[in-house]
Structure 1
Amino acid sequence: MIDTEFVQTLILTFRLAFITTVILFFLGLPLAYTLAYVKIPLKSVVETVVSLPLVLPPTVLGFYLILLMSPEGLIGKVVQFLGGHTLLFTFEGLVVGSVIYSLPFMVHPLQAGFQSVPKNIIEASYTLGKSKLTTLLKVILPNMKPAVLTGLVLTFAHTIGEFGVVLMIGGSIPGETKVASIAIYEEVEALNYEKANLYAVILFIITFFILVVVYSINRKFTKADSL
């Protein structure tokens, strides 16, 4: 039952989720900071664009990603100009698609976390001559740990479960683009319910455990802050 392709698929799934989460943390942090603290033109439009993956059908987003990543598309032309190859049906293409599709799951918790930090302690840091970067690293982020943790976990878990976008831009190439959600679909189509169940049980247990840990840690942070 547990063969090389099975293990390979699970490793690829968690690799994709890990890389996507790391990239989105470093992209989402400045974006969420800007949305929370900086007055920018058309802010509501920017927030709408960030939130679109929450409401757009995955097939719609996947379709436009196909157009963008194709050799004639904007992303495809840039990649080719830099000496790369097409991103469609590659692991790199999955990363790009996952970053876009999981963007709100990182940005929204971080933005809420930034907005929850009391302004008086931020102003106190500036009054003491601390730079914005120092204030961010030593004052703001330590006071929004639950939001950071929530963003990381939601992004990781959402990427693991993504199906529509991944299928459209990556297909199902073993060792390259075949992740667990695609494997479950294929096993069900083949009436191989036992193997599909094995994939599903592993993903269920891991995501359930992660969420339990996150809620437990967040509860500890909440109790500590109330003391």
Structure 2
Amino acid sequence: MNDHLTIDWQPLWLSLKLASVTMLILLVIGIPLAWWLAYSRRRWKFAVEAVISLPMVLPPSVLGFYLLLAFSPGNNFGRFLDHYLDLRLVFTFPGLVLASLIYSLPFMVNPVLAGFRALPADWKEASHTLGKSELVTLFRILLPNIRASLITGAVLSFAHTIGEFGVVMMIGGSIPGQTKVASVAIYDEVLSTNYPLANRYAIVLLVLSFVILLLVYGINHYYNKYKTLP
């Protein structure tokens, strides 16, 4: 087989690793953040919601550029991380993870927030009246009734990280085995005019994205049709 047409699976596995790590961390971050946005009485919480949703409208190259400046050892934040924590985020996998967390955060928070807001308002108050704590109310009452929203947020944040190019290219570049994810591999093959191999990478991502969308719509269809209260 022609080596120029052989898929290197390492960028695909690195993309899956990045998406999986990002999704798991976003679950830990996104649930309490969405809960706070849904139930907090702070008047300025709309500003927090706007900041969280900013990556949805901001061009990836713009966000990636400012993250590159922030993470660079030539700037105060990057210099602090490098000098005091021995942590360098530019052109490293941890840098890709942090950038992906910022860029995919709204895809986790917004579906979970919508799920919380769709619940009857008196469920939370009724639970507190029965003497249940906030944590018990969250894990025993609220979260079981927004399973579809949780799964949707997890799957969408995973898929969004898989397909991202601008941010990961800015922060990570194209270092094989460290920062060269599938979207960057496609870009590299196009630059070298190796369109057949770029097409093979693209087909794998296309199939994966379609399967993810089927999963999201299938889950939502199931819960809308068959869900029952626990």
Could you state the TM-score of these two structures normalised by the residue count of structure 1?
A: 0.94
C-alpha distance in structure 2 between counterparts of 1:193 and 1:80, whole Å = 39
Q: Distance in 1 between matches of 2:139 and 2:16?
A: 28
Deviation at 1:214, TM superposition (A): 2.1
| Secondary structure, counterpart of 1:23 in structure 2 | helix
Which of 32, 35, 39 is the equivalent residue of 1:33? 35
Q: Point out where structure 1 has 5 or more consecutive residues left out of the alignment.
A: none
Q: Any residues of structure 2 matched to 1:1-227 within 5 Å, and which?
A: 1-2=5-6, 6-225=8-227
- Tell me: CA distance 1:8–1:20, structure 2 relative to 1, closer, same or farther (3 Å): same
State the 1:72 CA deviation: 3.8
Q: What amino acid is the match of 2:6?
A: I
Task: After TM superposition, give the deviation of residue 2 of structure 1 in Å.
Answer: 3.4
CA RMSD of aligned residues (A): 1.6
Give me the TM-score of the superposition, normalised by structure 2.
Answer: 0.92
**1:41 deviation in Å?**
4.3
Higher mean C-alpha displacement, 60-69 vs 117-126: 117-126
- Provide the C-alpha distance between the structure 2 equivalents of 1:81 and 1:188, rounded to a whole number of angstroms: 38
Deviation for aligned residue 1:66: 1.1
1:71 aligns to what SS in structure 2?
A: coil
Which whole-Å CA distance do the structure 2 matches of 1:109 and 1:161 have between them?
19
* Deviation string, structure 1 residues 110-161 (Cα, Å, up to 9, x no partner): 1101101112222222222111101100110010011101100110000011
Q: CA deviation at 1:226?
A: 7.5
Change (3 A) 1:78 1:114: farther
The amino acid of 1:126's aligned partner reads: H
Q: Structure 1 residues 118, 205: closer, same or farther in 2, change over 3 A?
A: same
Distance in 2, matches of 1:79 and 1:19, equals: 21
CA distance in 1, matches of 2:156, 2:76: 29
What SS does the corresponding residue of 1:24 show, helix, strand or coil?
Answer: helix
Counterparts of 1:72 and 1:192, CA distance in 2: 36
Q: Which runs of 5+ in 2 are unaligned?
A: none
C-alpha separation in 2, matches of 1:12 and 1:128: 48
Q: Report the count of equivalent residues.
A: 225
Among the aligned pairs, what percent are the same residue? 53
Q: Any idea what SS the aligned residue of 2:222 has?
A: helix
- With 187-196 and 139-148 compared, the bigger mean Cα shift is at 187-196
Q: Which SS does the other structure have where 2:180 is aligned?
A: coil
DSSP 3-state at the match of 2:70: helix
